[in-house]
A and B are shown apart, each in its own frame.
Chain A
Amino acid sequence: MTTTTDRIEKQIVLRAAPARVWRALSNAREFGTWFGAEFQDDFAPGKDAHGKIKYQGKELTVTFAVERMEPERLLAFRWHPYAIDPTADYSSEPMTLVELALAAVPEGTRLTVTETGFDKIPIARRAKAFEMNSGGWAAQLDNIARHVHT
């Protein structure tokens, strides 16, 4: 059982063959071009792949703990989501599991992304990620105030 705050699921139909989509997922360099990271290592099951991510002008390191690679079917890895606080040490914190599942459909490839395990991430860390995003709570509270005033 997962709660509504524990899991994200996304689906997209890509107008490209599963083989092409698989290359964009399994090749760390290609993965990086759309994900927004620059990987130094290849993806391999049971191996960590390290890369760099640019976020609001800062360069941060990102690590994918690759778990499963089933060609044209599934890529699964764990990572620290939204690890954008350069002063924080995320290494002792739980990771989320990301699964990218492929299925051939007449239009091309259906890609289903699920990310689970958010409820295990400390709530303060989740609040921090939100704070660091533009606006943060100030904007949110403005919305409440506006709502109350009207």
Chain B
Amino acid sequence: MFTRSLAAASRNGAPIFAALGDETRLRIVAKLSDQGPLSIVRLTKGETMTRQAITKHLSVLADAGLVRDVRRGRERLWALEPSPLEVARRYLDLVSERWDAALGRLAALVETDDE
């Protein structure tokens, strides 16, 4: 699944900001974040738009690698998917934090016993 959305993300350039630059799509992301995977019926509830219009928004989000559809039995649900770029960035943050901590310990080691 990551491979597919990675391809989608690189094909579309900077799709994440474009995909999120819409009130309805932001609301969809928030709903999926709060409530987990949801069917199109649940996602349309409370919206003034038609099911078709919501489906279109979902496909924009899917192209950006932000959501994907999953089957649960006969039901088709939509779920959030962390974007590959976000994964890559957050991963570097993790590695970076680990180096910061290690270098702090290195400084403590070489700076204290040298006096």
- Chain A contact residues, CB within 8 Å of chain B: 4-5, 8, 10, 12, 14-17, 20-21, 24, 30, 33-36, 81-82, 111, 113, 115, 118-119, 122-124, 126-127, 129-130, 133, 137, 140-142, 144-145, 148-149
Distance in angstroms between the alpha carbons of A15 and B6 in the assembled complex: 44
Contacts of A4 in B (CB 8 A): 89
Q: Which applies to chain B's interface (DSSP): helix, strand, loop or mixed?
A: helix
Most buried by B among A4, A20, A34: A34
Partner of B99, one of A8, A16, A24, A118: A8
CB-nearest residue of chain B relative to A148? B30
Q: Which applies to chain A's interface (DSSP): helix, strand, loop or mixed?
A: helix
Whether B87 sits at the interface, judged by CB under 8 Å, is: yes
Q: Verify B107–A127 contact, CB threshold 8 A.
A: no
16 contacts between A and B (CB under 8 A): A8-B99, A10-B100, A14-B111, A16-B111, A17-B114, A20-B110, A21-B110, A34-B106, A34-B108, A34-B109, A115-B99, A122-B2, A123-B87, A130-B87, A130-B90, A140-B82
Q: Verify A35–B102 contact, CB threshold 8 A.
A: yes
Interface residues of B in 64-87 (CB under 8 A from A): 80, 82, 84-87
Q: A16-B110, A148-B26 are in contact. List 11 more A-B contacts (CB 8 A).
A: A4-B89, A8-B96, A12-B106, A16-B111, A30-B109, A35-B102, A113-B103, A118-B95, A140-B90, A141-B80, A144-B30
Distance in angstroms between the alpha carbons of A142 and B34 in the assembled complex: 8
